[in-house]
Amino acid sequence: MNQQMEVAVLGGGCFWCLAAVYGEVRGVARVESGYAGGGVPDPTYEQVCAGDTGHAEVVRLEFDPAVISYHDLLEIFFTLHDPTTLNRQGNDVGTQYRSVIYSQSAEQEKVARKVLAEMAGVWDAPLVTQLAPAPAFYKAEQYHQNYVEQHPLQGYCALVVAPKVEKFRAMYAGRLK
Q: Give me the active site residues, please.
A: 14
Quick check: 36 and 56 in contact, CB under 8 A? yes
Strand, coil or helix: what is 125?
coil
Angstrom distances, CA of residue 62 to CA of 31, 40, 75, 108, 162: 7, 24, 16, 14, 23
* Interior/surface letters 22-56, b for 16+ CB within 10 angstroms, e for the rest: bbebebbeebbbbbbbbeeeebebebbbeeebbbb
